[in-house]
């Protein structure tokens, strides 16, 4: 007996059969349309990058635990990209002289991380990346926040289904040091603790705080600070607030698009000020869907030119979970609109010419590959989701006509060959 290879994909990756691919194509098509109507230009880049760009800027969790690395035959250390932002920073830096800043770019890469597969996390995922490069203006934040709302609306989401939670790492630094009394020595560790704040039970957080070196009193003050919401801003020094783009957003008409949350940190090391996450409000899926933030110096790995940026990555796994949770997942499209069926094998050329005219009219059309009885082909057309069939018979073809049949009503009529596209379109309407 031969030893057959397994048919399952590598753990943490997924096969997308045609029905699921149809759903994904519809979903991402809506997102592309929104991005391009806002002037974002699509780009792409290699799936292999120098491992160093992630080890220097993506943070320890990705660099030490999640990076797929390899050494090529030339001895170069490479990695399968775990995210797109370092790659686009490299591309922006490399083409900066030819660009007119600010620029709006987007992409839809597949990314790889060695994670424990679970709900919302796999080892290969696709994500929409959208970034604005070359401006420090708070208008960039406003545009990104508006874009998030437009993208969600394009998928059928209403404002009550999600919340855009925002913070500024500089505001958080001030809150921790000036309000909560955290020392500079403990700051990076407390940042990591805050990033876990909503994921762990209170007892576990207190235990972690003690390990860092915080007293019980300091932990309670930290909890009070993080729970203060927007009232916390009044406790921060005025010079800190005045330098924050996020405060400018909150004080503008765009403030209604977001909710200020002091515990939003984002784990990636390159974020420098504004950070945000989109949360599902459903009790069945109450979790972050995607997020992003501002990075002031990511391009500095590649160029001395200061090129600030802000953007986000919208992953496909949590997005599809969101759509399923709220009943927004579109149905797969039918395989074809119409099938052209030759009654005899010698009419295949005639059927192909009729099919060509239907396709020219914009109808998704197929013809049989092998000759089978008419009844079997009608069953095949029904299973394919066709609305109609066009039957090419010997006598009809000799008379310059074909039979157009509705698969819903089983009614049929004889029409001139040239009129077949209009007759099928009428059934589709």
Q: Which residues are annotated as a binding site for L-histidine?
A: 83-85, 113, 127, 131, 266, 270-271
Q: Tell me whether residue 386 is exposed, middle or buried, using C-beta atoms within 10 angstroms of its C-beta: 0 to 12, 13 to 18, 19 or more.
A: buried
Q: What angle do CA 373, 378, 383 make, to 5 degrees?
A: 130
The set of residues, in sequence order, having a beta carbon less than 8 Å from that of 221 and lying 6+ positions away, is 179, 180, 181
Q: Rounded to 5 degrees, what are φ and ψ at 396?
A: -60, -45
Q: How far apart are CA 401 and CA 136, in angstroms?
A: 67
| Residue 377 CB neighbours (<10 A) | 21
Binding residues: 83-85, 113, 127, 131, 266, 270-271
């Amino acid at each position: 007996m031969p030893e057959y290879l397994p048919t399952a994909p590598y753990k943490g990756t997924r096969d997308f059969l045609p029905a699921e691919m149809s759903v994904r194509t519809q979903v991402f098509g809506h997102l592309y349309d929104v991005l391009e109507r806002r002037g974002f230009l699509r780009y792409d880049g290699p799936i292999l990058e120098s491992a160093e760009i992630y080890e220097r800027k993506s943070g320890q969790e990705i660099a030490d635990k999640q990076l797929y690395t390899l050494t090529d035959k030339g001895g170069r250390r490479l990695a399968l990209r775990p995210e797109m932002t370092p790659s686009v920073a490299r591309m922006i830096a490399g083409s900066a002289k030819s660009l007119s800043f600010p620029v709006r770019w987007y992409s839809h890469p597949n990314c790889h991380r060695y994670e424990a597969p679970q709900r919302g996390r796999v080892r290969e995922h696709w994500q929409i990346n959208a970034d604005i490069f070359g401006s420090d203006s708070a208008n960039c934040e406003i545009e990104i926040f508006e874009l998030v709302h437009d993208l969600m609306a394009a998928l059928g989401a209403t404002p009550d289904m999600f919340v855009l939670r925002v913070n500024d790492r500089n505001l958080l630094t001030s809150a921790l040091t000036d309000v909560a009394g955290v020392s500079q020595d403990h700051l990076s560790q407390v940042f990591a603790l805050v990033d876990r704040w909503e994921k762990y039970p209170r007892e576990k957080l207190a235990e972690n705080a003690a390990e860092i070196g915080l007293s019980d009193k300091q932990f309670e003050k930290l909890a009070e600070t993080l729970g203060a919401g927007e009232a916390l801003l009044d406790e921060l020094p005025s010079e800190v607030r005045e330098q924050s783009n996020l405060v400018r957003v909150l004080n503008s008409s765009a403030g209604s698009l977001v909710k200020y949350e002091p515990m939003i940190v984002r784990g990636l090391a390159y974020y420098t000020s504004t950070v945000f996450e989109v949360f599902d409000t459903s009790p069945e899926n109450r979790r972050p869907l995607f997020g992003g933030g501002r990075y002031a110096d990511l391009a500095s790995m590649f160029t001395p030119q200061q090129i600030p940026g802000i953007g986000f990555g919208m992953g496909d796994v949590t997005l599809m979970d969101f759509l399923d949770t709220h009943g927004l997942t579109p149905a797969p499209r039918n395989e074809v609109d119409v099938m052209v069926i030759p009654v005899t094998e010698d009419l295949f050329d005639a059927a192909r010419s009729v099919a060509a005219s239907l396709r020219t009219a914009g109808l998704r059309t197929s013809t049989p590959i092998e000759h089978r009885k008419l009844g079997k082909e009608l069953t095949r057309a029904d299973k394919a989701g066709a609305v109609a069939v066009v039957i090419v018979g010997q006598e009809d073809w000799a008379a310059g006509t074909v039979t157009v049949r509705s698969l819903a009503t089983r009614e049929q009529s004889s029409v001139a060959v040239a009129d077949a596209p209009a007759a099928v379109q009428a059934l589709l309407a």
